[in-house]
Amino acid sequence: MKKNYLIVGLVLLTFFVISFLTNIIGPLIPEIINSFRLSLTLVSFLPFAFFVAYGFMSIPAGIMTEKFGGKFVMLFAFGIAFLGALLFGLYPKYNMAIISLFLIGSGMAMLQVVINPLLRTAGGEAEFSFYSLMGQLFFGLASFISPLVYTYLSQNMSTNNNTLFYLLNKVVPSNLTWVSFYWLFAFISLIMILVIAAFSFPKIELKEDEKAGAFKVHIELLKNKTVLLYFLGIFCYVGSEQGVANWISQFLFTYHGYDSQTVGAQVVSWFWGMMTAGTFVGLILVKLFDTRNILILFTALAILSLAIALFGGSSITLYAFPAVGFFIAVMYPIIISLGLNSVSTHHGSFAGILMTGICGGAIIPLIVGVLGDHYTLKYGMLFLFITFGYILSIGIWAKPLINNSQIK
């Protein structure tokens, strides 16, 4: 099939937009707590609502892609995201925030399902790995930028009189300036709908390994201990990633008095920025060493960095949290590759089960919040040592059928 670089560019842009919103929840948490007077448990239901949508929408999105095509699913996904952002912009209440984030999360889950096979179809199978890496870089770049955009909006809402801020001040309550970010995302979603509508999409031809098998295949896989162990690995990874990122800003405010709109947002930004840098380093290391050894080393260093962040002084913690981001960068791709290389058949169905593990981003931050209400946030975040410990154990017990190729 002829390559379609415009579609490739659209997919990379979609990676950027998905990340732009997904990873802004953490910097907003201190403002949400203050605005709605929430406990740590109640505020934890916000990322829960977002990530639990992945568990509900991933499989239906795959069915819709096969039946209606990628263009329809992407338009529908951004339509849902636009509705969710608009509803919260119009009615900035806690209950509406739950509904809004579930809608937005549903849209992002649908996009995640469709863009990878679309990228392979438009860019060509031979270049799929390269473009997948490009997608991750766009994803990381957006995660780095979005907290900085939030800081810019927060600092200029009351002082800047240009057209953008004039319009935002008309619709955003003066005591809820952070809501402006959701108006921005509603606008971005609307633009994406218009852009996608103008494109002519190629038909997505799913390879056998990308297709979900019959119900009995999933049941068969779920009886396999190896499948369950790797599902738990993805569950723990996404939960750990979000369990750190979502609570950084609140932790810095609670224990060190750092302003959440400036310092807190900047540290979260660097957390994602260092994660992108860690991806580059990981690409080199997997060509030199066994991925199991890399996973053990980097997870141990992530645990050490988290311990320093939680119990270190006010200056060192500003560097320790981004260091956690750097060391966790290799975990997701290594767990996925070890998992898929540990079974000989039904890789498409197995991949779907692994993707469902993303709902760990809903459960584990909630557990941290509940523990934080009972034992303080610092000790609530100690739960992450359990999830990181499980990830470290994968490097010890993993026995893939195929090892990663290394430069000798």
State pLDDT tens for residues 25-71. Answer: 777 888 888 888 999 999 999 889 988 888 788 778 777 877 788 88
Domain residue limits, the chain: 1-206, 211-397
In CATH, the number for domain 1-206 is: 1.20.1250.20
What are the C-alpha distances in Å from 344 to residues 192, 227, 237, 351? 39, 12, 24, 13
**What is the predicted pLDDT for the residue at 391?**
97
Per the listing, tokens 């390559």 go with 3
What are the C-alpha distances in Å from 317 to residues 153, 259, 264, 305? 26, 14, 11, 9
Q: What is the mean pLDDT of residues 259-280?
A: 89
CATH class for domain 211-397? Answer: mainly alpha
Please, which residues have CB within 8 angstroms of residue 270's CB and are 6 or more apart in sequence? 144, 321, 322, 325
Q: Provide, rounded to the nearest whole percent, the portion of the chain with pLDDT above 90.
A: 39
**Cα 117 to chain centroid, rounded:** 19
Which of 148-162, 164-178, 230-244 is predicted with the least confidence, judged by mean pLDDT? 148-162
CB 98, CB 49: distance < 8 Å: yes
Task: Please give the radius of gyration of the chain, using alpha carbons only, rounded to the nearest integer.
Answer: 21
Q: What is the mean pLDDT of residues 289-310?
A: 94
Tokens coding 70: 């990628």
Residue closest to 211 by CA, chosen among 349, 59, 58, 72 = 349
CB 202, CB 122: distance < 8 Å: yes
Q: Is the pLDDT of residue 81 over 90?
A: yes
pTM above 0.75, yes or no: yes
Q: For residue 376, is it left (φ>0), alpha (ψ between -120 and 50) or beta? A: left
Return the H-helix or E-strand segment holding 241: helix 225-256
Q: Do domains 1-206 and 211-397 have the same CATH topology?
A: yes
Q: What is the mean pLDDT of residues 163-170?
A: 80
